[in-house]
Amino acid sequence: MLLRIVSILFPLFAIVAVGYLVARRKKPDLTAANTLNMDVFTPALVFGVLAGKDFHLDQFLPLAGATLTLIVSGGLLAWGVARLCKVQAKTLVPPVMFNNCGNLGLPLAVLAFGEKALPPAVVMFMISNLMHFSVGAWLLDHHTRLTTLWKVPVVAATLLGLVVSLAGISLWPPLLIAIKMIGDISIPLMLFALGVRLTDAHFGHWRIGLGGAALRPVAGMAVAALLTLVVPMPPLQQGMLIVFGALPPAVLNFIFAERYQQEPEKVASIVLLGNVIALIFLPLALALTLPG
| Per-residue pLDDT reduced to its tens digit, 121-136 | 999 998 998 899 889 9
pLDDT per residue as tens digits for the range 236-276 = 999 999 999 999 998 888 778 877 888 888 888 898 889 88
SS3 labels along the chain = CHHHHHHHHHHHHHHHHHHHHHHHHHCCCCHHHHHHHHHHHHHHHHHHHHCCCCCCHHHHHHHHHHHHHHHHHHHHHHHHHHHHHCCCHHHHHHHHHCECHHHHHHHHHHHHHCHHHHHHHHHHHHHHHHHHHHHHHHHHCCCCCHHHHHHCHHHHHHHHHHHHHHHCCCCCHHHHHHHHHHHCCHHHHHHHHHHHHHCCCCCCCHHHHHHHHHHHHHHHHHHHHHHHHHCCCCHHHHHHHHHHHHCCECCHHHHHHHHCCCCHHHHHHHHHHHHHHHHHHHHHHHHHHCCC
- Per DSSP, what are the bridge partners of residue 249? 99
How far is 289 from 17, CA to CA, in rounded Å?
Answer: 26
How far is 128 from 271, CA to CA, in rounded Å?
Answer: 17
How far is 104 from 28, CA to CA, in rounded Å?
Answer: 21
Q: Are 266 and 276 in contact (CB under 8 A)?
A: no
280-291 mean pLDDT = 92
Whole-structure pTM value: 0.86
Q: Which residues have C-beta within 8 Å of that of residue 7, sequence separation ≥ 6?
A: none
CA neighbor of 101 nearest in space, from 79, 77, 81, 131: 131
Instruction: Indicate whether 103 pLDDT > 80.
Output: no
**221: pLDDT confidence band, cut at 50, 70 and 90?**
very high
For 210, other C-beta atoms within 10 Å of its C-beta total: 17
Q: CA 262 → CA 30, 90, 141, 259, 268, distances in Å? A: 23, 7, 10, 8, 11
Q: Are 146 and 50 in contact (CB under 8 A)?
A: no
Mean pLDDT across the chain: 89
Q: CA 46 → CA 8, 156, 180, 287, distances in Å? A: 23, 10, 9, 28
The domain limits of the chain are 2-289
Q: Are 104 and 247 in contact (CB under 8 A)?
A: yes
pLDDT per residue as tens digits for the range 54-65 = 778 889 999 999
Domain covering 2-289 assigned CATH 1.20.1530.20 in the classification: yes
How far is 37 from 63, CA to CA, in rounded Å?
Answer: 26
